[in-house]
Structure 1
Amino acid sequence: MKITPILTQLREQCPALANRVAAGADLATLQTPCAYVVPINDLASANAAQNATRQAIRDRFEVTLILDSTDPTTALDQLHDLRAELWRALVGFKPGGDYTGIEYDGGELVSINSSRVLYRLRFFAEFQLGRNLASQPAESWHERELDGLSSFTGATVRVDAIDPADPNLKRPGPDGRVELTFSGDVTP
């Protein structure tokens, strides 16, 4: 998942952070409160199709809030409010056209000391690996292979019937004469 739409959404929808949202952070130079966003992993489900690629992929990312904790009570109250602000900004937001809305996956306290509180919130959104229409770009090796095949335009079938068997042959079976021919054309 691209991180830019998430950063933009947080900058626009979280006024308490005052645009202090980044894709990475140097903890020593940050002005608080602030947040940084990083992708953490993706999880793939089993393929749901037998002759194509249809996998649900869950892209997971985390937002770490960094707060000033010189007054721990104020910091923890602020954490409660910022957490709710993040939920309002992200839960249900679609980070791209192929993704489902973002869902909350849980949070945890990372660190608290006399100067900083770090709290991590995990989120995810899902998309499908594998296209739905042949007109869409290939998303897997199998789809690229299929795109390289010539188009199916039709078929001709020639039938050599087994019965009646040719009496000149030692056993019953096709005699090599075509008894029936038919064709079918495909027009897209």
Structure 2
Amino acid sequence: MKPSDLIAQLAHCPSLSGTPVVGLDLPAIKQLTPQPTLITCLLLPGDDAEPNDLQNATRQNIRDRFEVLVLLDPAVNGSLQTLDRLHDLRAELWRALVGWRPSPGQEPVEYAGSELLQCDATRVLWRYAFVAPFQLGRSRASQPAESWHEHQLDSLPLLKGVTVQVDAIDPADPNLRQPGPDGRIEMTFSGELNP
């Protein structure tokens, strides 16, 4: 999922003022200085992929993971109000993200839980985790290729017809030690395909 799409969707949270900081490094986010207003950070830790479940094509279920981290200063409003604010923010994030489809091929975003990452007299860092499931591998041949195998299949010429030649086992050739096909074609048939 594109971080820019996610940031645009987070604009539906009234409590998140300003653009979230996009971070790739949790230790660097933990070093941010708390401000009187909350600081929102977007962390994209990766994805989880299940093994391919097809033998002759690609179909993998993948879950994009992303996290919204909130940094608050509990000294500004007090501990109880800070906890209330975290509770209210969770409800706003649910309204903005849960059920949202980041792209046409993706499943709706799901909530994956939250946790306290850091807490002391001057800072509270809280993580809200979400996942966006999708399938790698197209569902219809009319969709664009998503894997190398699909790309190769798309480059093949269209199948316009089939010719089948049959070399029957019986009657067996008496000159052979074991009965089996003798190399003579006993039957041929063809068919044309109209896509």
Q: TM-score range by the shorter chain?
A: 0.7 to 0.9
Question: What are the superposed Cα offsets for residues 5-31 of structure 1, whole Å, 9 maximum, x if unpaired?
Answer: 2211111x1112223423236723755
Q: Determine what percentage of the aligned residue pairs are the same residue.
A: 53
Alignment of 1:1-188 (within 5 A): 1-11=1-11, 13-24=12-23, 27-28=32-33, 32-70=37-75, 71-165=78-172, 169=175, 174=181, 176-188=183-195
User: TM-score, length-normalised on structure 2?
Assistant: 0.84
For residue 15 of structure 2, give the secondary structure of its aligned residue in structure 1.
helix
CA distance in 1, matches of 2:190, 2:43: 59
CA distance in 1, matches of 2:182, 2:71: 85
The alpha carbon displacement at 1:89 in A equals: 1.3
Q: List alignment gaps of at least 5 residues for structure 2.
A: 24-28
The alpha carbon displacement at 1:177 in A equals: 4.3
User: TM-score, length-normalised on structure 1?
Assistant: 0.87
Q: 1:32 to 1:181 in 2, by over 3 A?
A: same
One-letter amino acid of the counterpart of residue 151, structure 1: L
Q: List alignment gaps of at least 5 residues for structure 1.
A: none
The alpha carbon displacement at 1:48 in A equals: 2.0
CA distance in 2, matches of 1:166, 1:111: 84
The alpha carbon displacement at 1:33 in A equals: 1.5
Aligned residues: 186
- Could you say what the CA RMSD is over the residues aligned between the two structures, in angstroms? 2.2
The alpha carbon displacement at 1:139 in A equals: 1.2
Please say if residues 41 and 61 of structure 1, whose CA atoms lie closer than 8 Å, have aligned partners that are also in contact. yes
